[in-house]
Structure 1
C-alpha cells in the first residue's frame, strides 16, 4: 500500500516512495562504482589461474565422473540378488487333471553363491577407476593452468607491443613535426613531409591492429574461466622475469613423476584390477534354490531344494583373461612412448628458453643502447643537414625492430618456461 507519510521532517520532507527510489538509485550507483573499480583493477597470473580452476567446465566434469563411479561402486559391492518364483503344474487339463484337481504349486527362493572373490574384484576395479579419474583430473588441471599461463603471457606480450606501437606513433608524430619545420625553412623537399605523414598513418594503423588483436587475446583468456565478456582492462606482470632453472637432467627426472605419467600408473592399476576380475569370473558360481510345493491331489506339502554349477567356466573365460593381460602390457609401452615424447618436448623447450633468455640479455645490454644512441646522432645529423631523411628513417626502423625483437624473445622464453613447468608439474626455481 502506498504511503504518503514523510520520513523526514522540515523543509525537505520526503515521502516513503521517494525515499525508496532514491535508496535504490544510490545503491545501484555504488554497485556500478564497485564494478568499475573491479574492472579497472589489473589481472594477475595468479588471479587468472584461480578463476580458471574454479570455473572452467573441463574441471567440473570430473566431480560428476567421481559421483558416477561412487554409484557404480555401491552396485558392485552388492551380493547377488534373491529371486522369488512361483510355478504351477498339472492344471486346467482333462480327466483327472481338470481344473485344479491335480495342480501342483511350487514357491521358490533362489540366488547365487559367488566364488573366487568376485565381489571384492568388482569393487577393486571401481576403486582403481576412481584413482584413474583423480589422476586425470590432476593432469587436466595442469594442462589448463599451462594454457592459462601461455595465453596470459601472449596477451601480456601484446600489451607490451601495444605500448611500443604508441611510442612508434609518438616518434612518427615528432618526426613529422621536425620534417615539416625543415620544409618550411626550405631545408628539405615537400616530398619528405608527405612520406613522414604516410609513416605516421602506417604507425597508427599498426597501433589500431594491435588494439583489436589485444581485445581478442583478452577474450580468449577470459574464456578459460567461462566468461564471455572481458571484465579486466589490463594485465599485471613482468615480461622479463625469468627466474633460475635447474639442469635438463634434473627437469627430466621430474617428468617421470608428473601427472601426465601418473595417469599411466593409475591406468596400470585399472588393468591389473580388470585382470583380477576376469580371473575371479573363471570360478564356478553355485546357483541354489529352495521352495515349498503344494500338491492338491493328495492335499500335502513338500519342500524342494536344488543347485546348479556351470561346467568348464575357466576354459570359457580364457579369452577375457588374455584380453585383460594384453591391455595391461599395452599400457607399459604407451608410458614409454609418452616419456620419449615428453623428453623431446622438454629438451626443445629447455633449449629455446635458454637461447631466448640469452637473446634478451644481448638485446638489452648491446643492441638497444647502440641503436638508441645511433638514432639520437642520426636525428641530430639530419637536423643539421648532414644525413638524409632515408637514413633517419632507417635508424628509427632498426630501433623499433630491436624493441619488438626484445618482446618476442622474452615472450618465447616465458612460453617455453610455462611448457617446462607444465611438463614437470613444478615451478622453476626463483619463480
Structure 2
C-alpha cells in the first residue's frame, strides 16, 4: 500500500533543514512544500498502486486448487455391425481433478507474497530517488538565487567606482578614460546580473516541473544556502547505510528466490490425477461406476534442473549484495569526503577570506577617493571579492548536493542528526 505523501514529505523535510527558513510570502517556496507537491502528483508513484493490484490478483490465482474437470464420452456408437447406430453405445459421464501437494500451493503463494514485499521496497526507493531529485533542483535554484544576490552587491560596488571616478574626473585628478573604464565594468556587471536572473528563473521553472507546474507560482526559494548541517562521523554513516532501500531490496529478493527454490522442489512430487463417473450400457440398460487414478513418472528427474537453477540464482544473490554494498560504501565515502572538503571551503570563506576582502575593498575605496590608490587596484579587489563569493557559493552547492546523496543512501533526514551551524 502506498504511503501517504505527507508522511514521507515530513521525513524528508529534515533534508537541508539547516538552509530552509520559514516563508512569509506566498511567492516563496519551502523545501517541504516542494516535496509535498511532488509526492501528491508525480505519475511515477501512481504506477505502483496498479502493480500491487496485479500482484494481489496473482496471489488469488496462486492460492487456487486444481480445477474440477467434467467430461463425457460415447463409445461403441455409429459403427458397423453390432456397433451400428446407438444400440450398443456406452455413455460415460465423469468428473476429475488432481491431488496437488499442499506444499506446492503454499510455495506459489509465498512467491507472490515475497514479490509484494519487494514492491514495497521499490516504492520506498522510488520515493527517495524522486525526492532526492527535487532536493537537487531546489539546491540549484538556491545557488542561482544566491548568485543573483552576490551580483547585486557587485553591481553596487561597481556603481560606487563609477561615482568615485566621476568625482575625480570633475576634480581633474583622473583622466576621462578612468570613468569610461569604470562605466564599462559596471555594464559588464549588470549584464552578468541579468544573466544570473535568467538562470535563476530557469532553475525555478525546472524545480516546478517536478510536480508538473509549467509556470512557477513562486519567485524565490526559502533558503540560506551558506548554512550547513554538521554531519555524524563516517562510521555512523556507514552503519546507517544498512537501512538504504538499495540494500533492503536484496533482502526482499532473497525471500523471492528462496520461495522459488521451495516451489521448484515441490515439482519433484508428482500430482495424483483422479477421475470418477458413471457409464450407461445402452444394450442392457445398465449403469456402472468407473474410476481411475494416474501418477506421472519421472517427476524428480524433470524437476532437478529447475531446482538447480533456482538454487544457483539464490546463491548468486549473495555475491550481488556484496558487490552492491561495496559500491554503496564507496559512493558514501566519496560523498562524505566531498561534503567535508566543500564545507570547509564554505566556512573558511565566511570566517576569513570574504571578511578580509570586504575590509580591503572598503579601505581601497577610501584610499582611491584620497588619491592614494589607482582605480585598477580598487577594481581588482572588487573582482577578487566576487570570485571568492562565487567560489563559496559553488562550494556550498557541492556540499548540499553531497548531503542529498548521503540522505538518499542512508534514508535518513540530514537535519535529524544535528542542528545546523553558520
When normalised by structure 1's length, the TM-score is: 0.87
More deviation in 106-115 or 200-209?
200-209
Matched, 1:273 2:259: yes
Q: CA deviation at 1:38?
A: 11
Q: Does 1:197 align with 2:193?
A: no
Task: Work out which structure has the larger RCO, using CA pairs closer than 8 Å and 6 or more positions apart in sequence.
Answer: 2
**1:161 equivalenced with 2:147 (yes/no):** yes
Q: Is the 8 A contact 1:109 1:291 kept in 2?
A: yes
Counterpart for residue 68 of structure 1: 54
Verify: 1:430 aligned to 2:410, yes or no.
Answer: no
For each residue in 1:69-119, what CA deviation from the matched residue of structure 2 results, as whole angstroms up to 9, or x when unmatched? 011001111111111112222222233222222222221111111015111
Shift of 1:66: 1.1
Q: Which moved more, 1:262-271 or 1:38-47?
A: 38-47
Structure-1 residue corresponding to 2:223: 237
Match of 2:113 among 108, 127, 151: 127
- Please state if 1:219 is matched with 2:226: no
5+ residue gaps, structure 1, are: 1-36
> In structure 2, do the counterparts of structure 1 residues 38 and 88 end up closer, same or farther at CA, with 3 Å as the change threshold?
farther
CA–CA separation in structure 1 for the residues paired with 2:309 and 2:203: 48
Taking the TM superposition and a 5 Å limit, the aligned residue runs for 1:105-124 are: 105-115=91-101, 117-124=103-110
Q: For 1:38 and 1:315, locate their aligned partners in 2 and report how far apart those are by CA, in whole Å.
A: 73
**What CA RMSD, in Å, does the superposition of the two structures yield over aligned residues?**
1.9
Q: State the partner residue of 1:13.
A: none
Who is 1:176 aligned against?
162
**In the alignment, what sits opposite 1:402?**
388
Aligned counterpart, 1:141 = 127
Matched, 1:297 2:291: no
SS in 2 for 1:256: helix
Change (3 A) 1:108 1:228: farther
Unaligned runs of 5+ in 2: 1-22
1:293 alignment partner, SS class: strand
Q: Which sits farther off after the overlay, 292-301 or 129-138?
A: 292-301
Alignment partners' CA distance in 1, 2:92 and 2:24? 77
Where in structure 2 are the equivalents of 1:12-161 lying within 5 Å?
40-115=26-101, 117-161=103-147
Distance in 1, Cα, partners of 2:314 & 2:234: 31
Q: Is the 8 A contact 2:27 2:217 kept in 1?
A: no
Distance 2:189 2:170 in 1: 24
* Structure 1 stretches of 4+ moved >4 Å: none
Describe the SS at the equivalent of 1:289: strand
Number of corresponding residues: 395
How far 1:400 sits from its partner (Å)? 0.8
Which one of the candidate residues 297, 313, 332 is aligned to 1:311? 297
